[in-house]
Structure 1
């Protein structure tokens, strides 16, 4: 082919390509059409069966797991307990478990304290215990106290194991028919998928829904509809989907992000809303409880149920990047390996799996088993297992043995100082902490590293040196994140002056937990604090925004400048939504009442205070809130009633006693008022204004000598200008010019630059 022919062919091919270009574009559009014209890209829950086809191995791992069997409808295949007309004597009642017409029933004490037959609608869990749910009015599901021990195959009463030495009757908040055992608010969000609590505060009722009754694939991965669409597209058409079409990212993430995936259910926290899978931070839907007393020991060891997260965050494992799936199959929940092999994935066998490290006999060697403080039998050889020294456990719910995931080194020396447990004495219960500490010293030397619990314990004991230690811990990112937050919280609680000097550093910290603690510390309505709180109204996370709004509301919404009203109102509405979400609990109702009280919506505040008391009559302190509300609204007969109810429980509360005295004075019952105020003064002689008001009553009753003596007590107690001026006014009113002049000279010496004092003294000298 010559050059002319070649050029001609090129021109022809070019023309053909130009002519074909629109057709190729149309073809490309057709091929990409599913990527461009998705009918609905709103993520929806599609169910585990839609995951099974592509993820069969993961599905099979999940089947039979705690997650898969977290909750189910009660039937012959799911109910494990023996309902063949069995009885149990507990809590002063005879409970009966039986079947009728193919259904499962329990004869139990009910809301009225009388025995009734209750049908079991759902089962909860499967090992080491199984609980049973009963339907009540207003959409409630309640957890029966009669529980099946699946290991020993016996019935037991949950209260006998959890609330030992207490008789839980129908009036007690802990009774199974009351809120403490309510499934909708206490349990549901972590036992079902796509749980919407659906609480209506006005009707005090639930419309709780789920997409799957158990903890399924989408409980962790989020709604999967877009992922299913992604999977059904040809590979070349998937570019429009981020993260495979999944709402939650579970791969190529660091350990903090990974652990936070499990945090929602495996942590002790309060929920701000139903689960928001699109949230960028856990603090958009939760407030995590810090590992503090009384739910933890002062060193962060487990005490009450903590659900792992706060413990694991304290560990060196977490700080070194270890994730849940490094030890657990996240679909089955089981450990990857048995015994020490699990730990030897990272730790050197010839260093740690040796007698020179663990100092315990191996299995088969002569010796005696020990029974731990929890009642667990540890046979000879158990001491060589890593978890028995570094992950000691406790029983919860009677038979559920859970291990502490903080992976700590046994420290009997801290047990001696702070009364905290240690693994040595938790097994060797017949020995002292000193005995254990002696062996630790022999084996590993006498050097002990500083532990953060030493600062926390010192702060609680009021030691001044703890302030600098807490400040160091909070500012040092080598400490675990939640321990830094706890140190900052204690700094604010015990050393507010030190906290004031560092708070600005933490209000802009990248960690929302530290920002939240710093924001919560801003209780005083200073101009600086108001400015800081206003900045917090636009924080990235809901927990911090709503905390800022809450503090501003308490300080006074009138302190918010007009230019910031919009952001304040937006955050305040968000705060209200958070409060309404938890208003099914007595504490939630109290928070709602406080919300309305601070906005002078006293009728709504009264409604919620009363509802809280009705739900839990043992929350007697709510009577104090009601008493102040009634006094504020000039209903002092009711104020007196509720002050007295409160003081029956707290007779040594000087503030409440003082307030009752003022109410009686407002009612014109001056003799009674004086008696109550004198009692308040006896409880706390330095309580602000109590001596002043006693003096005013004596003055009213013409007992000038006692009036003067109590005004002098007020000066001694508070040592401020106002109390001295009140005493001066008393002298002037009673024409005691000599004492007035003497006191006036003292005041002028104390406040030489005060212009009001100078003018007062000039007038006083003019009169004399």
Structure 2
């Protein structure tokens, strides 16, 4: 699992007398003597403490036979023979003793990990709040109280809390997962247990050689291949400007290095993305979508900084992480009150005329208005690195965070909007075009929104990640506007925009999809080739032999990505999908079953296997597969919904309605489930059908749902039909209303 300190010492002594021939990791002990200042700053930092072997020096939590009562059950934290142990509930529902092997982080909380015989390292659900007692800290708490059942993905022994896949790449240095698919086990290794020097600088053996060869002292890179310098060497204040501008920008690789951990992504390979200057060689970056961000780009779920940063003017102007953060201590280079004033002139920004708050108040600090905090993991406050301008009007429209209310918790956005307008009556901010209204409308499936998405995608003044996210939102909006935007985007020099175009092209007709995306099958970036192959694979049966040959080459890259992630159910399901498209049902079934074996709580594997059986007209086997999955994961709404559809096809309407009802109970915010449930209830319970369709409309604001309700009420001659038509007239085209009236002969 790790290299012991004694072995590491032998390595260090060997390196001192023998020049290293290949580029290798040498360890922090080889760095500290010459770089004592940096080493001292790093010691005790978040990077240093990212992961540690358990010891009295690393453990912060109270293991003095402490008992935490929860749900009338006792969880115990204790020591035995200088070891650290917990007695907590296991997957069998019984309490067991587990030895803690590793600590994870240290501030504002510390987590703890158990190592199992199959090499899995799992995070226990309890964490130690390491904040001072006066801040509510120095206590044990359940980090995931909602995940108490072994059927849940994020139960502590399941894949959602697995270090080998979820955490290792970012919390340790030079990680290799080493997953054995045949035994479903890991032999994960790393050079150093924490985030040490070489996690950022790369392997240092060539640097060690450089130090021994005096004749090469003038080599610029000093044995390192990465450029971690600042992208801007000098800043200047232009005439009438209030903010410093870069005299020139020569982009370094620093942000790429930081982003390998400080981003929301899926790892797709072990390739060196830094040396290749392409994030997509190693990671698939999450775009600005509704599951992670608000429509205005503010962070919703954890995005670990990079996705927010790419939206910012800071990124556009060559700012890198070390302009604000010391790269070794990770602390701010200046107090937070002044760090922004490196570029933003104090006489314009650090005064009441700008911030409209008392000089020493929280509201006078830049970060509290432009970098609002979101609390994750119950106690971990993280700032949004998009540096958005406060927009209470957006908060009113889109329910996005209103940073003013972070302090003024007794107020609302009407109040803050009024104040902001009074402070800046001549501001042009609200006249500037912003992507937020378009993204919000697209997320609600407003008709005709593709024109505005297309405009954003093709406007170079928007950040690349916003343009890519506009393309991504075109996936279910197929028309001339989206086709033109996608066709232009695939030719972009920016890989993130090409990736956005691939996502947006998912629903394009066969001919257009192949014509637009096939050139990307030979793209220089792994993520682009693999994603293009994935989106084109469903066309397999319609392609000629030459096209299939070209696609098959790119599919090798796609399969390599799945092979890299073979410890996860989704990878095998993805492979099964490709075989299904190709008509290779035998291999598809093997892949889906392997997915279930590797990850029995991954619902999509059961759903796709059931669909495979349906394609082969094995309908009862299809239902049985879904029932097995639902028994395994009884809180999964997708499986309940799939069972509803399967029973509809089997003409078992009563069973179908039962499963649709379960789906709406499990996912009460899913408008589509209510819509389908309403349609299925029409024959047996029309009044309940109306309620379900009305709820679908309330959740979605989708006029099509209201149209379906009016249509059903008219068809059943309901007394509520005329009132429904009046409501529909406010949101639907007049032609649609007239069509309904004509169909049912209503004047």
- Give the TM-score category using the shorter length: 0.7 to 0.9
What pairs with 1:623-638 in structure 2 (closer than 5 Å)?
Answer: 623-633=606-616, 635-638=618-621
Corresponding residue of 2:127 = 147
Q: Return the match for 2:178 from 198, 207, 230.
A: 198
Cα distance in 2 for residues equivalent to 1:200 and 1:576? 17
Q: Deviations over 1:409-435 (max 9, x none)?
A: 111111111111111122212111111
What is the SS of the residue equivalent to 1:122?
Answer: strand
Cα distance in 1 for residues equivalent to 2:637 and 2:95? 35
Once the two structures are TM-superposed, the CA of residue 612 in structure 1 deviates from its matched residue by 4.3
C-alpha distance 476-207 of structure 1, shift in aligned 2 (>3 A): same
Once the two structures are TM-superposed, the CA of residue 525 in structure 1 deviates from its matched residue by 5.6
Matched, 1:399 2:379: yes
Matched, 1:117 2:97: yes
Matched, 1:267 2:250: no
Matched, 1:208 2:191: no
Corresponding residue of 2:486 = 503
Cα distance in 2 for residues equivalent to 1:335 and 1:359? 25
Corresponding residue of 1:470 = 453
**Matched-pair contact (CA < 8 Å) for 2:567–2:598:** no
Cα distance in 2 for residues equivalent to 1:452 and 1:175? 38
Once the two structures are TM-superposed, the CA of residue 137 in structure 1 deviates from its matched residue by 2.8
Corresponding residue of 2:670 = none
Once the two structures are TM-superposed, the CA of residue 320 in structure 1 deviates from its matched residue by 1.8
C-alpha distance 59-673 of structure 1, shift in aligned 2 (>3 A): closer
Corresponding residue of 2:283 = 286
Cα distance in 1 for residues equivalent to 2:311 and 2:677? 44
Corresponding residue of 2:500 = 517
Corresponding residue of 2:225 = 247
Corresponding residue of 1:221 = 201
C-alpha distance 300-100 of structure 1, shift in aligned 2 (>3 A): same
Q: Deviations over 1:331-369 (max 9, x none)?
A: 110001113211111111111111111111234xxxxxx
What is the SS of the residue equivalent to 2:118?
Answer: helix
Cα distance in 1 for residues equivalent to 2:528 and 2:252? 20
Corresponding residue of 2:697 = none
| More displaced 10-residue stretch of structure 1: 144-153 or 352-361 | 144-153
Q: Return the match for 2:331 from 306, 331, 334.
A: 334
Cα distance in 2 for residues equivalent to 1:199 and 1:545? 25
Matched, 1:456 2:436: no
Cα distance in 1 for residues equivalent to 2:369 and 2:86? 42
Number of aligned positions between the proteins: 619
Cα distance in 2 for residues equivalent to 1:77 and 1:180? 28
What is the SS of the residue equivalent to 1:69?
Answer: coil
Q: Deviations over 1:702-725 (max 9, x none)?
A: xxxxxxxxxxxxxxx9xxxxxxxx
What is the SS of the residue equivalent to 1:138?
Answer: coil
Corresponding residue of 1:31 = none
**Matched-pair contact (CA < 8 Å) for 1:158–1:397:** no
Cα distance in 2 for residues equivalent to 1:672 and 1:493? 31
Cα distance in 1 for residues equivalent to 2:589 and 2:287? 32
**Matched-pair contact (CA < 8 Å) for 2:370–2:388:** yes
C-alpha distance 96-572 of structure 1, shift in aligned 2 (>3 A): same
Once the two structures are TM-superposed, the CA of residue 464 in structure 1 deviates from its matched residue by 4.6
Matched, 1:437 2:421: no
Q: Deviations over 1:742-768 (max 9, x none)?
A: xxxxxxxxxxxxxxxxxxxxxxxxxxx
Matched, 1:82 2:62: yes
RMSD value, Cα: 3.3
Unpaired segments ≥5 residues, structure 2: 1-17, 232-249, 661-673, 680-707, 709-747
C-alpha distance 42-656 of structure 1, shift in aligned 2 (>3 A): same
Cα distance in 2 for residues equivalent to 1:459 and 1:672? 36
| More displaced 10-residue stretch of structure 1: 254-263 or 531-540 | 254-263
**Matched-pair contact (CA < 8 Å) for 1:298–1:456:** yes
Corresponding residue of 2:730 = none
C-alpha distance 339-654 of structure 1, shift in aligned 2 (>3 A): closer
Matched, 1:426 2:406: yes
Matched, 1:322 2:300: no
| More displaced 10-residue stretch of structure 1: 449-458 or 510-519 | 449-458
Unpaired segments ≥5 residues, structure 1: 1-37, 364-380, 665-670, 688-716, 718-768
Corresponding residue of 1:27 = none
Corresponding residue of 2:153 = 173
Matched, 1:43 2:31: no
C-alpha distance 83-653 of structure 1, shift in aligned 2 (>3 A): closer
Cα distance in 1 for residues equivalent to 2:677 and 2:149? 41
Corresponding residue of 1:297 = 294
Matched, 1:96 2:76: yes
Q: Deviations over 1:552-607 (max 9, x none)?
A: 32211672543872x53332222112112223233333223323333444344334
Q: Deviations over 1:260-304 (max 9, x none)?
A: 221110000011013525433110111100122122111111121
Corresponding residue of 1:389 = 369
Q: Return the match for 2:537 from 549, 553, 557.
A: 553
Q: Deviations over 1:89-138 (max 9, x none)?
A: 22553110001111100111112111011111111111111111111132
Cα distance in 1 for residues equivalent to 2:214 and 2:205? 16
What is the SS of the residue equivalent to 2:471?
Answer: helix
Matched, 1:540 2:536: no
Cα distance in 2 for residues equivalent to 1:342 and 1:674? 64
Matched, 1:562 2:553: no
Corresponding residue of 2:716 = none
Q: Deviations over 1:465-487 (max 9, x none)?
A: 63333222211221111111111
Corresponding residue of 1:527 = 511
Cα distance in 1 for residues equivalent to 2:637 and 2:55? 50
Cα distance in 2 for residues equivalent to 1:672 and 1:172? 29
**Matched-pair contact (CA < 8 Å) for 1:91–1:167:** no
Bigger helix share: 1
